[in-house]
Amino acid sequence: MQKVIKSDADWKSQLSQDEYYVARQKGTERPFTGKFWDHRALGIYRCVGCGTPLFASDTKFDAGCGWPSYFEPIDPNNVKEEVDVTHGMTRTEVMCNVCDSHLGHVFPDGPPPTGLRYCINSLSLTFEPINP
């Protein structure tokens, strides 16, 4: 896997201000405001920073939390996890393993078959539709 490394100026020129805040500064969009929280089209959700395929639409489910939620990544090697102790709690942060963009968090309260809920910011994603 080839890592994508860019200067802060390059990230700011590539991403919108909101995308930069979430993907590069570990921000969070407000629930029920992102373009993909209730998105139902078939396709692949990719990293906004580098285009790495992250989640498939057939792993997306309605968690009722206001953010797009998936029960597994397309390839576990495309995401990395780190302990996040901000905001007075301990969570597991999920990032793109190629460009280190912040995606969201993963929680152990998802549906079968994994029991995981990857709670991801829409601003960290792009979407590539698949025509059936």
- The percentage of the chain sitting over the pLDDT mark of 70, rounded to a whole number, equals 99
Q: Which residues are marked as active site?
A: 119
Which residue is associated with the tokens 């190629």?
A: 98
Q: Which two tokens stand for residue 109?
A: 């309260």
Residue 58 lies in a domain: yes
Residue 96 lies in a domain: yes
Please report whether residue 124 resides in a domain.
yes
Q: Give the domain extent around 69.
A: 8-129
Q: What is residue 132's predicted lDDT score, i.e. its pLDDT? A: 65
Question: Helix, strand, coil shares of the chain as percentages rounded to 5?
Answer: 20, 30, 50
Question: pTM for this structure?
Answer: 0.95
pLDDT at 122: 98
Q: Using CA atoms, how far apart are residues 80 and 127, in angstroms rounded to an integer?
A: 20
15, part of any domain: yes
Of the pLDDT bands very low, low, confident and very high (cuts 50, 70, 90), residue 39 is very high
| Number of domains comprising the chain | 1
Residue 3 within any structural domain of the chain: no
Query: 72 in a domain, yes or no?
Result: yes
Q: How far apart are CA 83 and CA 91, in angstroms?
A: 6
What CATH number is attached to the domain comprising 17? 2.170.150.20
Question: What span, in angstroms and rounded, lies between the C-alpha atoms of 130 and 45?
Answer: 11
Say if 1 falls within a structural domain: no
pLDDT interval class at 87 (50, 70, 90): confident
Distance of alpha carbon 111 from alpha carbon 126, whole angstroms: 24
